[in-house]
Structure formats: structure tokens, C-alpha cells
Amino acid sequence: MKYSMFLAENWRFRQSGEDNWLQAKVPGCVHTDLWENRKIEDPFYGKNELDLQWIDKQDWEYETTFDLTEELFQQKNLEIVFEGLDTYADVYFNGNKILSADNMFRTWKADIKPYAKKEENRLLVSFRSPVKEDLPKLESLGYGLPASNDHSEDGGLGEKRISIFARKAPYHYGWDWGPRFVTSGIWKPVQIYGWSEVQITDLYIQQNVVTTQTAQLTAKVEIEADQEWEGKLQLATEGLNLEKEVSIQKGNHTIELEFELENPKLWWCRGLGEPNLYQFLISFSKAGKTVAEKKVRTGLRTIRLVKEKDEVGKSFYFELNGVPVFAKGANHIPNDSFLTNITYEHYRHEIASAAESNMNMLRVWGGGIYEYDTFYELCDEYGIMVWQDFMFACSMYPGDQAFLDNVKREAEENVKRLRNHPSLALWCGNNEMDSAWAHYIEHIGWGWKQEYTQEIREKIWADYEEIFHHILPKVVQDHAPEIDYWPSSPMSELTGDEHQHTTYTSTSGDMHYWDVWHGAKPLEDYKKVVGRFMSEYGFQSFPELKTVQTYAEETELELESPVMLHHQKNGRGNQLIKEYMDQYYQEPKDFPAFLYMSHILQADAIKTAIEAHRAQKPYCMGTLYWQMNDCWPVASWSSMDYYGRWKAVQYTAKRSYRDVIVLLDQVDEELNLMIVSDRLQDIDGSLQMTLYDFSGEKLWTYDQEIQVKSNTVTMVDKLAVKDILQNHEANKVVLQASLETKGQTIDQKEHYFVKTKDIDLEVPLILIEQVKDQDHAFVLTTNVLAKNVWLDAEKEGIFSDNYFDLIPGISKKITFSARDNGQSAFVLENPGAITVQSMAGFVKKVPNRNG
């Protein structure tokens, strides 16, 4: 059998050349270890980021001493495995150099049998400064490469952008939502492995044909033998137990075992079925004794990216088990600037929040990391498909042979590591590089190529093509052939001419739309620009007050304070929020109200976009807003802040991503009534609408029996606005629509006929009462219309609904679920005191009966 031990204890570190060693945590990094030892201030507080830029210009050393167990020491083969070294490191074992690392995304292994002792083994990891390592590469190249999100100026490097030379998380060098912390450290576990005879190095369950009747599979078992070996190979899973006699020569080999499962339970994404999972156990045994074994978990499904010509261009959608899926979700970035701060609970909270918000896809964006296994395991369990970028974003990269070889090995390792996860839906080469460079059209792109001579332009583009059009697709094809590859997001099609690059008029490929926000276009323009798959778009807000107070003092709570500007990495971000707010809302009375209103603004923007995209189904078959999460407390595009607190947009996504939704789309003086369904069954029901004044009086009603076809958009009616209003003042009424079937309300929407700033709101009296014998449930009522009612709990958690409109005479029941550190992501619980706020008024803390 294979024996192992983690090297997680007794680590210490120091700056190279210094005498004093300090206690270290492994996994960890220099920044967090310095913070734990109180050698630096809180990196996220105020503008402390700028005072910590010296750290990445130093070399650092980590060391530990350890004994080997007798069992481990006696094995014929001893190997040390570093799952992640960040990034440039030399490793010494008992004084012997055993490896040099130069890629954060790779696993590093070395044979230590010749140097191992039973006791007092010394392991030293010497990290070289990534800044000092890569500055000479820039000088050697002779020209800079585009890397617009590399905050080199914050790092004291001026215009010297070096992030593109390191195979390291790009966001460590700064982004337009994140700080610059160029880390070094042992960021994943370190283990010693010992084995004799045979070890299993990989097990891949390749899915050849999967239907509801049969799953034709191939188990590909990679093994290493230190001698000739004969014995029994056994493969077991639910409903299957196979045995085979094998004879293995010394060295590395792959054994393929074909088999079939009848009537398999398929893996489905959230909304379409259960995410069923199988565990496969492979073992080698001899004379009844198990010599080696390995387990993997996977789900059985077919998934493909469908790009087929139609009457307007080419489709772009995911088909799961033969069913076209409208992708609903968000873009994911790393959950922390310091990766080893991320816990299992952080990941579970994010993935459970995605599922709770009716999402079925997250995009792992290419400026972060290939995520920890935990992330994908949770996506498998919750039925969240993963669009996976390779780690390249918003830059152009070098093309020397050493760099290309490094990239190839990185890709091979990560494709093989992730290929058994049924949630994995797509491998994408990079983020925004095809459209930013725009090689085939001179006047579009980000202005990068115009900075270079024609000769250098051609060299940079040739290097790009080598990585993204040759190396990466071949790696995917060789090692995970059932998963599709897409070269760049966004892109129209791989044509090698001007038709390749996505524009806002493209009718094929995927699209990133940023004219709303970066281009300061009105929110209504989300309806004007809809592509085949909207893989990025977004709108900013601040985090809520208690999050802002973790990095700013009371005296700094103003829009243009130095700290508030520092925690806004998008140049005009704060001003853009204010400009949009002035356009759509009345002026907030103070800074806390401004924070709240920024949430409402962001939510209204993303709601407009999501509904525009869903209304265009099946022309458009995906909407992934930017972004799900944050890596530090900041004003950003996130729907959950750094602490996992849901902003208004997260609740809006939950409503707008329901499997069946009502759409009320007003175009000039006409109101279009539509039902969008992602369900696989038809629905018989009724659409009921009522016009209310703000005291709750019914002014007009509508009731229409309808049949909603499965997986499509149903146009119900077109109504003249004047016929609905019937001479009532447009700024003093609200239209509520409800879709009901079998006595249940599937979706409910409010529609206003004027901009929010023009609605004639009064200060409401909101009553909140606890439900008898349910300390987690409450009923809310109001005397006049209460718009965007925000409930804030004393405890950390989420409400069943929030930031909703409350109409007099219509009570609303809500429940509270606390974040749980145990076995569940959310647990129904008493929230403690609740604070209630609406757009027109604020209510102090309301204690509940048991609070």
C-alpha cells in the first residue's frame, strides 16, 4: 500500500540573510505569516496595501525538521510532493538540492530515498523574489507586453509590468477590483509518499457514450511499478465489480479497462434533475493482499458546446444529456488575495449561494487560479456547471520555448486533475485577449497592437496562436476529449480573419458587454445589445456599511476620501456609481444611505440585463454576470462581498434566475407580457395582474389562462400602457403580476411606469411580526408602498427574500437562515435583532420575541 504523511507542523520562515526565524503556517504565504507574527499591519485595512510592497522584492526561506515513521521509512520508494509552490523556489532536503520550481499551478515532486533519514530530516524551501526574478526577462525581451491590470505603479515598478512572465495568479499583481499582493509561499499541502511494488498515479473514467439506457466507459489507470509485477486488478462501483489478471513491466504504464453500466443515474445541473455521483475504486492485489488502490468520484453525463449555423449566425449553448441548457450564473474570482485564508466553509457558502440563487453555472475566470479540488467537488454536489478558463487574462504573453513548455505541463496537469468532475463543462483558453488585441481588424481592440512595429505585432500574435490555438486545444483533446475547448472569451469563431473577433453586433460566439458601466451607457442599453451567450457584463456597488467599517474609520466614510478611493480599483468607479445614481434615483441623505442605494442601483442594472438575455432565448442561451465574489473588502461588481454577505443583486439574481419567470417589458407606450421557462415540462396556469395605488387600493385587474411551453419563451400579450393606467398618475401606481399554477405562485413581479427617482414615495410604517412557534420566520406588512425593503440581521446569514417591494394589504412571509459551519450551508435560525430599511425610510432595530 501507499503510505503518506503531511508536513504541516513545525515550520518556520525568515527573510533570506536574516538571523531570526519566525513561526510559519504551511500551507500559507509570506504575507499571512508576517501578519500572524505582527510584523506588518492588516493588509486590507485603509491604504496598508501600499506599505507592504517591499515584501515581494525580498527572498524568503521556509524550513522544517521531521521524523519518518518506521512504516514509511521502510518503503522502497520515497517521494516528496509539493501540490503548490508560489512560485520561484529551490528545495533542499538534508542539504541536497532536490528540485527547482517555477510555476505556481504545477505539482512538484522529487525522489528523496537516497537522502532520507529515520529522524531529524531537514527540509528547506528557498523562495526567490518574483519581482527580482522577472525584471531581467523584461529587459531581455526588449519591449513590454500588454498587461493593463498589472498595478506596477503601486508596486514601485513604474511602467515595468512583469506579471506576464510568471506562471502565477495574475490577480496577485492587482486588478480593477483587487489589490497588489505578489505573494510567495507553500500554498498547497506538502506530503511524503512511500510505496513498494506498484503505485497508482492517476485514474480517469472516460465517458465514451452515456444515455439513460447505458454508460459505455473506459477506466484509464496510470501506474508505476518498481519491478515486474503480476496480480489482480479490480474495479468496483455501484452495481459493478470487475476483476482482471494483469502482468506489469517495471516503469510507467497505462492500463485501459472498458466496461458498461446499465440504466445509469445521470448527473444533471441544478434545475434539470439530480446531480447523481458515482464513486469508483480501483485496486491491485496479490495473494489476497491489496498493494495499491485509488478512489475517484464522478458523475455520468454528456455535455457539449453546440455551435451550429442558423438563420442569423451560429448558436452557442451547452447541451447536457441531450437537453439545451440556458446557462444562468456568474463569474468567479479567487475568494481571497491570500489563497490559504480560504476555508471549506467559504467555498461551500459560495457554491450553496449559487444554487440557492437558482444558478446552474459559474465561470472560473482566467486571472485567478485553477481552483482547489474542494471548489469542483462542491459544484459536482450542487449541480453547478463550470466554465473553466486557463490562467491567462487581459495580457499578451511571451513565447520563448521555456515558457511554452512550462505552459504545456501546467495545462496537462490541471486538465488531468479536473477531468473526472462532471461539473466541468468547458475549457477556455483565456479571458479577453482575442478581442483586446483584435489582430485582424485595425480599428478595434484595446489599442494594444498600435504600440508596436508590424514585426513585433506579428511575433506577439504568433506566440498567442501557439499557446491558444495549438498547445492548449491539443492538451484538452489528448487528455479530456469529451470536454470542448474555446480559445478565448469573448470570441466570435476561430476563423483566422476579421470574423474571429467579437463585436457588439456579433451573431455567433460569446460576448462581454461593458458599454453599460465602462461606457456609461444607460441601463436600458442592456436590452439593445444581446449576444448568443453573455459571458460577462456587470455593474458596481459598495459593500454594506459593516463591511466598509472593517477598512475605514468614521471620518473616511465619504465617496472621495483617500481610503474609499483606495478600496475602489476601477479608476472612475465611485464617480460612475454616483453619476448613474443621479440619473435614476433621488439623492441619498447620507453615506450609509448611499451604500444602500448603490446596492439597489446594481440590482436594477443586473435585473435589466438578465431579463433582456432570457427574453431572447433561444437566440441567447447564457447569462453570466460579473462577478460572484470578492477577494478583499472593496467596492466592486460582486454580488456577495468579501465576507460572503449577500448584496441586493444576489437576491435579485435569485428571483431573475428562477426556472420560470414573468417578464414585463415596457417599450414606449406598450407593455409586453412574457413567460420564460427553463423547465422540461409544459405548465398550465394563469397570469394575474393588478394595478395598485400606493395605499393598496386595486385600480385595474387582468387574468389570463395560459400554457407555458417547456424550455422556451411564451409571448402572452401586449397591452397599451394607457389602458392599464386609465388616467391614474404613472408615478403613484404599481403593477403587480403573478404567475400561478396548481394553487402556487411560481413568480411575482412589480412594474413601475416611471424611473425610480420619479416615483412618489412616502415614508412607510413597516411592521414585522414573528410567526408563532417559528423564531426564524416573520411576516411583514406596510401602510403605504415600501420600495426595496432591506432586512439586515444581527447574525450572519440570508433571508428567503430581501430588497423586495411591499404593497399595503399584501403581507410577505420571510425566513432567516444562518451561515452554518457544520454540515449545512444554511440553517433556519433566529436572526437576532433585525434592522428594516426602505428607499423612503428607515426603521431602527426591531427585536423579535425570542431575539
Using one digit for the tens of pLDDT, what is the confidence trace for 514-553? 999 999 999 999 999 999 999 999 999 999 999 999 999 9
Among 65-79, 305-319, 475-489, 828-842, the range scoring the smallest mean pLDDT is 828-842
Q: What is the pLDDT of residues 681-723, one digit of tens each?
A: 999 999 999 999 999 999 999 999 999 999 999 999 999 999 9
Contacts of 788 (CB under 8 A, 6+ apart): 600, 648, 803, 804, 805, 838, 839
| Residue 135 host element (H or E) | helix 130-141
**Confidence band for 825, pLDDT divided at 50, 70 and 90:** confident
All cell numbers assigned to 719: 397591452
Longest CA span, the chain = 91
Q: What is the pLDDT of residues 109-163, one digit of tens each?
A: 999 999 999 999 999 999 999 999 999 999 999 999 999 999 999 999 999 999 9
The rounded percent of the chain whose pLDDT value lies above 90 is 97
Residue 821: is its pLDDT beyond 90?
no
User: Cα 721 to the chain's mean position, in Å?
Assistant: 40
Mean pLDDT score, 796-809: 97
* d(C-alpha 812, C-alpha 689), whole Å: 17
The rounded percent of the chain whose pLDDT value lies above 70 is 99
In this predicted structure, what is the pLDDT of residue 849?
46
In this predicted structure, what is the pLDDT of residue 843?
57
Sign of the Cα torsion 84, 88, 94, 97 reads: positive
* d(C-alpha 323, C-alpha 344), whole Å: 32
In this predicted structure, what is the pLDDT of residue 334?
98
Residue 851: is its pLDDT beyond 60?
no
User: Cα 164 to the chain's mean position, in Å?
Assistant: 22
Q: What is the pLDDT of residues 26-36, one digit of tens each?
A: 999 999 999 99
Residue 562: is its pLDDT beyond 60?
yes
Residue bearing cell 397591452: 719
**Confidence band for 297, pLDDT divided at 50, 70 and 90:** very high
Mean pLDDT score, 397-419: 98
Domains and CATH numbers, the chain: 3-191 (2.60.120.260), 198-298 (2.60.40.10), 660-758 (2.60.40.10), 766-846 (2.60.40.10)
Nearest Cα neighbor of 428 from 354, 496, 370, 360 is 370
In this predicted structure, what is the pLDDT of residue 169?
98
In this predicted structure, what is the pLDDT of residue 702?
96
Mean pLDDT, all residues of the chain: 96
* d(C-alpha 633, C-alpha 549), whole Å: 10
Residue type, 51: D
Residue 270: is its pLDDT beyond 80?
yes
In this predicted structure, what is the pLDDT of residue 472?
98
Residue 238: is its pLDDT beyond 70?
yes
In this predicted structure, what is the pLDDT of residue 841?
76
Residue 850: is its pLDDT beyond 50?
no
User: How many C-beta neighbours within 10 Å does residue 751 have?
Assistant: 19
In this predicted structure, what is the pLDDT of residue 820?
81
Residue 191: is its pLDDT beyond 60?
yes
